[in-house]
Amino acid sequence: MTVTWFNQGVLHVEITAQLPVQHPLLAISDAELKDDLAVDQVLQAIESNYQQGYEASASIEEELNGIVFGGRGDPLLKPDVLLAAVEEFKLHRHGVPVAVASFGLVGEPDMQSLAVSLADAGVETLQFFLPAGNPSAYARLLQVEPALFNRLCQFIEVCVAANLRVECFTHTDLQQSAGECRALALALGAVSFEVRELASTAQD
């Protein structure tokens, strides 16, 4: 399995295949990332895509798609690697937008410091998976404790307060509750909510 892949023309970067729940985030794959990646491996994979012409046609910063960390795994489970990789990447490509996709299930004691660290490192956008609009539905869909729903909602608010752009999404197979999820996301401070198809990276 490769470290990077594309979805709708946007470069996605993997750090880990670990997930906090038994449910896909952005992508599914027949392959597995057997080991967590070191910072230099992540940076080399990103730079390789730029050397091959990724975003070469963009003439101004507003035309850049940027990069998204996460997809098959949740990068917030490896915050040290994520933060170091983003900081180093931004040193050389400071105008490129960086987003992080996550379930957002961060422990309460770490929420504030992590949000600030993400912003300081150069992350502009957090993309959170929000498949349900209430604790019981969230617990049923993801087979987790209902309290994790409240943890996600709290972290969304913390990230918004840290001046991070927050976007929320669900998957097409869960879109029957999209209206409730959209209302909740916007109430928590997210700028958008969308229904996405799970990407397939089996070609890797």
Q: Give me the percent of the chain exceeding a pLDDT of 90.
A: 70
Give the number of C-alpha atoms closer than 13 A to the C-alpha of residue 64, restricted to the C-beta side: 15
Q: What is the pLDDT of residues 14-57, one digit of tens each?
A: 999 899 998 889 887 655 566 778 999 999 999 999 999 998 88
Q: Each residue of 63-120: pLDDT tens digit?
A: 788 999 998 889 999 999 999 999 999 998 888 999 999 999 999 889 999 999 999 9
**CB of 3 within 8 A of CB of 42?**
yes
CA angle 157, 5, 178 (to 5 degrees): 40
Positive or negative torsion for Cα 97, 98, 104, 107: negative
Cα dihedral value 159, 63, 181, 17, nearest 10: -70
User: Total domain count for the chain?
Assistant: 1
Strand partners, 98: 67
DSSP state of 62: G
Task: Say which CATH number the domain at 40 has.
Answer: 3.20.20.70
pTM: 0.92
**What is the domain range of residue 135?**
4-200
